[in-house]
Amino acid sequence: MNATVHPLRKYARPHVTRTTTCPGCGNGIATQAILRAIEELDLRMDDFVFVSGIGCSAWIPSPFFAADTLHTTHGRPVAFATGVKLGLPEKHVMVVSGDGDLTAIGGNHLIHAARRNIGLTVVLMNNGIYGMTGGQTAPTTPRGISTVTSPYGSLEHSFDIAPMIVSAGAAYVARWTTHHPRQLTKAIKKGLTKKGFALIEVVTQCPVQFGRASKLGGAVEILKHFKSNSVRIEKARKMDPAELLGKIVVGEFVDIEKPELSSEWTRLIHSMREGRQ
Amino acid sequence: MNATVHPLRKYARPHVTRTTTCPGCGNGIATQAILRAIEELDLRMDDFVFVSGIGCSAWIPSPFFAADTLHTTHGRPVAFATGVKLGLPEKHVMVVSGDGDLTAIGGNHLIHAARRNIGLTVVLMNNGIYGMTGGQTAPTTPRGISTVTSPYGSLEHSFDIAPMIVSAGAAYVARWTTHHPRQLTKAIKKGLTKKGFALIEVVTQCPVQFGRASKLGGAVEILKHFKSNSVRIEKARKMDPAELLGKIVVGEFVDIEKPELSSEWTRLIHSMREGRQ
Amino acid sequence: MIKARTALAGTHFDMGNWACAEGAIAAGCNFVAGYPITPASEVANYMAKRLPQVGGIFLQTEDEIAAICSVIGASWAGCRALTVTSGPGISLMQENIGFAVSTETPIVIIDVQRLGPSTGVPSIGMAGDIVQVARGSHGDYQIIALCPESPQEMFDLTIRAFNIAETYRVPVFLMADGFIGHMREQIIIPPADQIDLVERRVPTVADPMKRQDFLDIGVAPMPVFGKGLQAHVTSSCHDEHGMRNLTEPAVMHRYVMNPIQKILTHRDQIVEVREDYVNADLVLVTYGTVSRSARAAARLARNQGLRVGTLRLITCWPFPEEAIRKAASRVNNLLVLENNSGQLYPYIRAEAAHASRVEFLGPQFLGQIHDPNAILEKVKEMLA
Amino acid sequence: MIKARTALAGTHFDMGNWACAEGAIAAGCNFVAGYPITPASEVANYMAKRLPQVGGIFLQTEDEIAAICSVIGASWAGCRALTVTSGPGISLMQENIGFAVSTETPIVIIDVQRLGPSTGVPSIGMAGDIVQVARGSHGDYQIIALCPESPQEMFDLTIRAFNIAETYRVPVFLMADGFIGHMREQIIIPPADQIDLVERRVPTVADPMKRQDFLDIGVAPMPVFGKGLQAHVTSSCHDEHGMRNLTEPAVMHRYVMNPIQKILTHRDQIVEVREDYVNADLVLVTYGTVSRSARAAARLARNQGLRVGTLRLITCWPFPEEAIRKAASRVNNLLVLENNSGQLYPYIRAEAAHASRVEFLGPQFLGQIHDPNAILEKVKEMLA
Amino acid sequence: MTRTELTIAGLGGQGSILAGMMLGKAAVAYDGKFATHTQAYSSELRGGFAAAWVIIADEPVEYPRVIHPDILVAQAQDSIDRFASSLKPGGILIMDTDMISNIPESVNGVFRIPATSIARNEVNEPVTANIVMLGALCKCTDLVSRIALEAAIQEMVPKGKTEKNMDAFRLGYERVKGA
Amino acid sequence: MTRTELTIAGLGGQGSILAGMMLGKAAVAYDGKFATHTQAYSSELRGGFAAAWVIIADEPVEYPRVIHPDILVAQAQDSIDRFASSLKPGGILIMDTDMISNIPESVNGVFRIPATSIARNEVNEPVTANIVMLGALCKCTDLVSRIALEAAIQEMVPKGKTEKNMDAFRLGYERVKGA
Amino acid sequence: MSKVDVLSQNCKGVDQCGICKYVCPKDLYRDSKEMNSAGYIPPEMTDEASCTACENCMIYCPDMAIVVHKDAQDGPPAGEGSDD
Amino acid sequence: MSKVDVLSQNCKGVDQCGICKYVCPKDLYRDSKEMNSAGYIPPEMTDEASCTACENCMIYCPDMAIVVHKDAQDGPPAGEGSDD
Ligand SMILES: Cc1ncc(C[n+]2csc(CCOP(=O)(O)OP(=O)(O)O)c2C)c(N)n1
Ligand SMILES: Cc1ncc(C[n+]2csc(CCOP(=O)(O)OP(=O)(O)O)c2C)c(N)n1
Ligand code: SF4
Ligand code: SF4
Ligand code: SF4
Ligand code: SF4
Ligand code: SF4
Ligand code: SF4
Ligand SMILES: [Mg+2]
Ligand SMILES: [Mg+2]
């Protein structure tokens, strides 16, 4: 039976035979969603450059994906990816990294990439915690939860990432949980075809660290929690803030057209060349 | 006649006899607005710590104000101020700095301070340009404008700061232009009395750098531009995006109550002490 | 000197990172800001729990830059402030380490070093940051760096770090590494009344133009905020009152040199070394965890009749020139051992080469401190 | 070697920063990311205008960290990439300088140094960053740094910087300062066909597990992105294929040491010095702008019958050990001149002290290069 | 100067490092000896490599590394592959037979215990496999006294889990086979 | 080796540095000499201190700093306060009398010109005060030839402003008084 | 022909993960008896005939340890499963 | 008693600034003839009697170079001036 090969396996480096995530980690669900999006869009791995930061989620493409992969420093993948995209505007440049990586230390690069509307597809794994370093508070950790760095309950408020990135200027923003792998795949596909900055926020389970901190429990319990607390954005818009407390608003937050940076550069250089002739 | 002393002069260090701004710079209007807010609230300079970054605007309190003043590195005043506020929760900690300082290099600290809802009053001088370094593009420079680093017209979109900081979690956010010194003073007063993170965005004129880049001209011309393009937020909310293009939305963007970080710490420490007895 | 207010007196078996945190608590630390990073996280994690118990605050910042900035801000607000990180965090902090130096702000920075460059290996210790903490920020300056070799010393030297930071108004680094940070050994914590602490000196004159707040080689009292002192603090070139001056070369010179001289003229009071090389033919010069290999190797050598001594630099910065010169003047062979490719080696040779033969030996595998037998072999080669 | 495609041939009177930018253009630079900072801004400002004319891109980033990151990203995307800043920016870039070293990414970093520490004096030049660029990132590594002394050399050495960066897959620093960055002098730009450029070597085998992409002391071809090479680039400890390995000490050792050895074994090809001390009794050892003071002082001295020579380090990193040892073996007195408190001085002494007397002289006021007369006085004192 | 060196290794999540800590604690706090405990692990939180080294001595430990251990406790095949060859001649190996299939011929003194299945099936607490190993170790060596080790384990496991851990320890102590 | 050193100083915005550049350009591009131009300014964009130093020589300039200038062109009182004492014995001072009230007695060769008011009132272009100063300088010294300096100015001022700048130059040339 | 293959060597264990069990709308998985070489217990299929090939188990499995063969399907086409 | 004092040494000049002239609803300022010591031309008051003491000129002057004495006022109380 084990001769069967997973259909998405063809996108992986042959020598990488196992993932390094903990049992039940949502990162694997996102891995599949990304690869399935690529498959459904009929793209090749050579069309891609994957860029990631540091953290469990940053190991999604690195070293698993059989493509050009830039595994960068903590918090900086978007900044690196900006250089890659400007250098290779015709490639799909996808950033995959964690909530800590992209919104704590890397928050500034994220909002500026959204502002610039540079054509990156960012898959942001929001597990509400710092997984890799052992369960510290992330900017996404709900207020009141006791993590290893907030043992008396976090005193800070958390980011609502998707709408913040909308207000920073992104062209496409969607949020889904790992309980929504099919919608997630669709959103990634949309992000990949978008000419502009696309953020796909994936609310995901870290059963080991977040499960312990939140006392929600294991992978299945967190997935159940996602299921029962998700509210479609269309519905959420009609609810009042009090009702939305503790809910996870999912869906598409924005989807607009506006000039994308790398193509603006291509245009400018082209027009300078014309002007010269 | 010159024996007359300006009524706000009492808030200044005696040995600092002149400002270092260019003729017609809006920073002086904000200087007065800040000092007048302090006067009208009947506060003393000893109730304050002023923190600023690097840039023309960062020189508003430093060395002019006769108070504890921390003139920090470029982009970091909010991070420094966070430490100051947690160490001296009973003081007013006011950050005064530029748009480049606070939203380019310092953007991350700004959104995180808003998220934490730490009790700082941030006066952000948005002149749409890097004044001090000679007129480079700022994240606030309107798309299309030719600055020294975007000689063919800026290809990037600009931040709409106030609403972005609302979505990051601030308790109070207002925006006024230097054409609105009285409203500005009121907003600063409100920010100072707010328990939580308050941002006052001041759209201001840099006649030297921005005036040149935008071709708007001198101080008076930019002020006129502010006057004719300002739209109150109440009205703006009823307008459609196309109509709002190029407009400056002014007014209060948010004014809510939520737990403030330094008092949450005071509370926690207090409760730990109680618990121990 | 005052006495510590609290200390977890007793004998413990715990990690170096824990000892460091308890050392900070004993030293009266009441503000810690940090950002998680292996192998330093346990200090922050533990402080998050421990500080509120003693009335202190732990801030998990958005990054290491915010950590050091808020720590400096808290120090000016009157706190005893600390941040803890590893190499990548130190790299990010470099700009504002310079700010702390230039504004003469007492802070303690714990560097639990890991193997690098760059992301490297998070969990493996190495002495890779020993020069970067002293020379990694732009411009010219001096800081103080202490190098523990055991969990016990992570406790002891953390207290010392706070005391020297307050005495000299300077950032003090504790140069631990992942190896001792995660090492568990016996840690003896004395009772609070046996721990001496240096209190901060604060000026009393209200007008900053009538005080010397900065650039005093003898160390100026610190005009902390919130006391009506109207302190003006800037890391732009400033005069003795803290007032910005960007035009006068003489002020610029003082601005750079006086904080350097402040440290260098007190070098003798600051520097601590451990010398054990009477009658030696060769001295092993080390700092940090490698010192333990060196002592083991010296013992092995002596057992074989070779006269091998040790010189351990507990303080690495300001650089212990005098101690090196002394060793070079007494012993003909110096063998420098570092858990890196030889970062302090040039600094040591600079002081010793005129008088002695000086050689270097790195570990077989960087990140794993030297096998005493490998040292012994090199010693034999040098003494042959 | 190929020839430059474009160059603004002719004689110009312009600033060093302009010359640097034109040097980059001649070197085929097609991607610049930067953040404004005095005294380096003119390079970026000018590049913003100039690059689109030659099909290149200028990105003004949100900060210096993003600048170096995007430059590294662009280099992997196949660009000839440069960033330009001053000390505060270098400090912020430290972490990702280490990333570039560890991933063996060719990039050029222009450091127009200013007086510091910290904010210091933006417009005044100083040689304060000369050690920080080599030792300021955590862990252990080697970079290359070139020190121009004139606007002409800011042109020449910028081209050289690109060539060595591509040859050795390493960040190369041009250590200018505010003084020559803003200095205007005659600048001669040769025609494009007289400018030699090194082309990047790219592998042809498609499977990274069948190639050596990293850790080759002889310098591996660079598997740039977008060519179907499935490059795996990480600054975590990795093997020859770029694959992460966080457990094997032997891999860790190679991970740190091979990129160091890559530079050190090519030291002779990389290092450039200017020696002019035949029959001298004393040699003035310098780098950067101070070299001009040194030559003027040597001339003054010779006019007075004193046999004074000069040794100028054009390459400061990798450290020109050999050149120092040679000078020390031939001349009895070395006088080191630096526009700082003596940052390279220990490195020089380390190589020279066994054979010569080595002394240091800083300028009267840091930030203002030495008055030749002050040097002369010190020379007389040493030769007395 | 007596000095005994031990390596205990496994995969992330198997608790090798914690087991090493318990040994050190037992030696220092209850047996009145000196101990040095060091560790290494890869970045993966689960499944990666993890190891601890414990030196127990009558005097303060000078050189803190273990190069050639007297004892190797192996919780996974990976541990064997990494460390078996480092074992001191005459050193002993204690291994979890559920996780390890091949051991090199060079190793002589081998003690075997199916720790993972004992923990899973008999203790009903998979995470106690490391404690099973400690029980086995305690039986096979005189590194630390049984009473000291039991005390250290009780101090260091979560309250409420004491009994299960003591079961695991006892089962390890009783069921180890060899050498 | 002839080498002439000049300091030109003023407040930010007065164009001292630009004037220095024009001198250097004139020397290198039109007089076939060598020149080194260096500068300093404070952070304020307007009103702060600004200075340029120009060395003009027949050979490449070795030591690039000006310590004791042969000529000081002063556009503000601040410039006098900073630099008058550095003037070489026998050096000359060219000053804007609108901006400067006190000069030290030590200075002998003084040339005076009301450059600010000429620029403002006669050229009707306040920013040309520096060009007025250059006119005066050109008249009082043989540092660069008039034709070279005029060419450099024309090359470096915005197109469309050439005439006003030439007026300013001429007025400076004609109206300077002293020594 | 089988509809579902469990690649048991890839599985990280039903006790700590068990997502397949949770997402199968037909509740077709149970714990197997055998550990894999990493010490994890994979799931096993109880009743392949009832499988609708909805693919939930495949799509959700974080370790790509399950393959559903759609072509072997005889149930209704895969829909949006349980993921909303 | 005067209502308005121009602290002319502080002024940065009506030509480059001139904000006072722009914001005075009564248009009471004009360029003075004298330069101050920094070379700037301050404004001068043309008709103090017409001044309403609205304080615009004081509040807007970026260099705190104008003082309006409200107590000397006889016009209507200061309102929100022209700043909206
Ligand atoms: C500069 C720097 N600071 C800190 C770290 C340590 N670090 C590694 S991963 C991480 C957090 C990762 O959290 P997140 O991005 O949420 O990823 P997750 O593991 O939760 O998927 C941190 C702080 C680092 N590698 N570099
Ligand atoms: C780390 C660092 N990078 C760059 C600079 C240079 N710098 C000084 S001020 C400034 C921009 C200021 O712009 P803004 O904050 O908008 O202030 P403004 O001058 O426009 O008021 C910059 C880039 C610096 N001082 N430090
Ligand atoms: S720690 Fe959390 S995020 Fe990281 S691999 Fe484990 S479960 Fe996933
Ligand atoms: S440059 Fe602009 S912002 Fe700076 S002082 Fe001048 S006018 Fe104001
Ligand atoms: S979902 Fe996958 S990894 Fe999880 S238990 Fe099922 S088969 Fe195993
Ligand atoms: S395909 Fe659907 S029905 Fe079949 S086993 Fe998987 S989840 Fe159950
Ligand atoms: S107070 Fe009002 S009316 Fe009077 S001068 Fe000023 S602006 Fe004009
Ligand atoms: S507003 Fe003030 S600075 Fe401006 S011209 Fe009027 S008085 Fe002068
Ligand atoms: Mg996370
Ligand atoms: Mg600005």
Does residue E44 surpass a pLDDT of 70? no
D141 and D56, same domain (yes or no)? yes
| D353 part of contact set with chain E, CB < 8 Å | no
The first and second tokens of residue D69, run together, are 């990151």
Q: Can you tell me the distance from the alpha carbon of A127 to that of H50, in angstroms, rounded to the nearest whole number?
A: 68
D244 and D323, same domain (yes or no)? no
C163 and C39, same domain (yes or no)? yes
**What's the CA angle centered on G77, arms G72 and G82, to 5 degrees?**
115
Q: Are B123 and B34 spatial neighbours (Cβ–Cβ below 8 Å)?
A: yes
Domain span at C366: 274-383
pLDDT band, very low/low/confident/very high, at B180 (cuts 50, 70, 90) = very high
Residue D24 belongs to a domain = yes
Contact D92 C92 (CB under 8 A): yes
The first and second tokens of residue B71, run together, are 């003139």
* Average predicted confidence (pLDDT) for chain D: 98
Q: What pLDDT score was predicted for residue H70?
A: 82
The first and second tokens of residue B149, run together, are 């680093």
D255 and D306, same domain (yes or no)? no
Q: What pLDDT score was predicted for residue F44?
A: 66
Kindly give the pairing relationship between strand C315-317 and strand D144-146. unpaired
Does residue F68 surpass a pLDDT of 50? yes
Q: Is the peptide bond before F35 cis (omega within 30 degrees of 0)?
A: no
Residue type, E6: L
**Domains along chain E?**
3-178 (3.40.920.10)
Does residue F175 surpass a pLDDT of 70? yes
D122 and D45, same domain (yes or no)? yes
Q: Can you tell me the distance from the alpha carbon of A112 to that of B159, in angstroms, rounded to the nearest whole number?
A: 8
Ligand 1 neighbour A56 (Cβ under 6 A): yes
The interaxial angle of helices D290-303 and D372-383, nearest 10 deg, is 60
Q: What is the pLDDT of residues B30-85, one digit of tens each?
A: 999 999 999 999 999 999 999 999 999 999 999 999 999 999 999 999 999 999 99
Q: What pLDDT score was predicted for residue C115?
A: 98
Strand segments, DSSP code E, in B127-171 are 129-130, 136-137
Mean pLDDT value of segment E50-69 = 96
Does residue G19 surpass a pLDDT of 90? yes
Partner chains of H (3+ C-beta pairs under 8 Å): B, F
The first and second tokens of residue A112, run together, are 């500026």
Does residue A96 surpass a pLDDT of 50? yes
D102 and D190, same domain (yes or no)? yes
Does residue B99 surpass a pLDDT of 60? yes
Residue C78 belongs to a domain = yes
CB contacts of H17 in chain B (<8 Å) are 23-24, 218-219
Q: Can you tell me the distance from the alpha carbon of A16 to that of B159, in angstroms, rounded to the nearest whole number?
A: 42
Report the predicted TM-score, pTM, of the whole model to 2 decimal places. Answer: 0.97
The first and second tokens of residue B175, run together, are 């925006």
* C188 beta partners: C11
| E47 part of contact set with chain A, CB < 8 Å | yes
Mean pLDDT value of segment A98-104 = 98
Q: What pLDDT score was predicted for residue E170?
A: 97
Nearest-CA distance from A43 to chain G in Å? 19
Q: What is the DSSP letter of D194?
A: G
Does residue D313 surpass a pLDDT of 70? yes
Contact call for H and C: 3+ CB–CB distances under 8 Å: no
C25 and C103, same domain (yes or no)? yes
Mean pLDDT value of segment B162-187 = 98
Mean pLDDT value of segment A153-172 = 98
Does residue B274 surpass a pLDDT of 80? yes
Q: What pLDDT score was predicted for residue E177?
A: 94
Counting from 1 in the atom list of ligand 1, the atom nearest the Cα of A57 is: 21
Residue type, C351: E
Nearest CA to ligand 4 atom 5: B21
Q: Are D40 and D226 spatial neighbours (Cβ–Cβ below 8 Å)?
A: no
- Please report which ligand is nearest the Cα atom of B132: 2
Q: Can you tell me the distance from the alpha carbon of F67 to that of D374, in angstroms, rounded to the nearest whole number?
A: 12
pLDDT band, very low/low/confident/very high, at D50 (cuts 50, 70, 90) = very high
Nearest-CA distance from B219 to chain D in Å? 24
Mean pLDDT value of segment D196-225 = 98
C180 and C139, same domain (yes or no)? yes
Does residue E50 surpass a pLDDT of 50? yes
Q: Are D117 and C140 spatial neighbours (Cβ–Cβ below 8 Å)?
A: yes
Q: What pLDDT score was predicted for residue G82?
A: 46
> Does ipTM top 0.85?
yes
Percent of chain E with pLDDT over 90: 84
Contact call for C and D: 3+ CB–CB distances under 8 Å: yes
CA distances from F166 to C7, F30, F128, F139 (A): 79, 17, 9, 14
Q: Can you tell me the distance from the alpha carbon of A253 to that of A168, in angstroms, rounded to the nearest whole number?
A: 13
CA C77, distance to chain mean position in Å, is 23
Residue D370 belongs to a domain = yes
Percent of chain F with pLDDT over 90: 84
Q: What pLDDT score was predicted for residue G70?
A: 82
Contact A209 E45 (CB under 8 A): yes
D293 and D225, same domain (yes or no)? no
**Domains along chain A?**
23-276 (3.40.50.970)
Does residue A2 surpass a pLDDT of 70? no
**Domains along chain H?**
4-71 (3.30.70.20)
- Phi/psi-derived region of residue C34, left when phi > 0, alpha when psi is between -120 and 50, beta in every other case: beta
Q: What pLDDT score was predicted for residue E13?
A: 84
Ligand 1 neighbour A248 (Cβ under 6 A): no
3-state secondary structure of D373: helix
Does residue H72 surpass a pLDDT of 70? no
Contact B163 A164 (CB under 8 A): no
Q: What pLDDT score was predicted for residue H79?
A: 46
- Phi/psi-derived region of residue E32, left when phi > 0, alpha when psi is between -120 and 50, beta in every other case: left
* C234 beta partners: B71
Q: Which residues, 6+ apart, have CB-to-CB distance to C113 below 8 Å? A: C86, C87, C125, C126, C127, C128, C129, C175, C176, C177, C178, D138
Taking only the tens of pLDDT, chain C with its 384 residues reads 899 999 999 999 999 999 999 999 999 999 999 999 999 999 999 999 999 999 999 999 999 999 999 999 999 999 999 999 999 999 999 999 999 999 999 999 999 999 999 999 999 999 999 999 999 999 999 999 999 999 999 999 999 999 999 999 999 999 999 999 999 999 999 999 999 999 999 999 999 999 999 999 999 999 999 999 999 999 999 999 999 999 899 999 999 999 999 999 999 999 999 999 999 999 999 999 999 999 999 999 999 999 999 999 999 999 999 999 999 999 999 999 999 999 999 999 999 999 999 999 999 999 999 999 999 999 999 999
* Average predicted confidence (pLDDT) for chain E: 93
Residue D203 belongs to a domain = no
D189 and D79, same domain (yes or no)? yes
C294 and C155, same domain (yes or no)? no
Residue C111 belongs to a domain = yes
Ligand 1 neighbour A103 (Cβ under 6 A): no
- What total of structural domains would you count in chain C? 3
pLDDT band, very low/low/confident/very high, at H6 (cuts 50, 70, 90) = very high
Residue C23 belongs to a domain = yes
Q: What is the pLDDT of residues H20-47, one digit of tens each?
A: 999 999 999 999 988 887 778 999 999 9
Task: Specify the range with the lowest mean pLDDT, choosing from A171-180, A268-277, E27-36, G53-62.
Answer: A268-277
The more confidently predicted of residues E40 and A269 is A269
| A230 part of contact set with chain G, CB < 8 Å | yes
CATH code of the domain in which D370 resides = 3.40.50.920
Ligand 7 neighbour H65 (Cβ under 6 A): no
D216 and D190, same domain (yes or no)? no
Q: Are A176 and A124 spatial neighbours (Cβ–Cβ below 8 Å)?
A: no
Which amino acids bring their CB within 6 angstroms of ligand 6? G 4, 23-26, 28, 51-57, 68
Residue D202 belongs to a domain = no
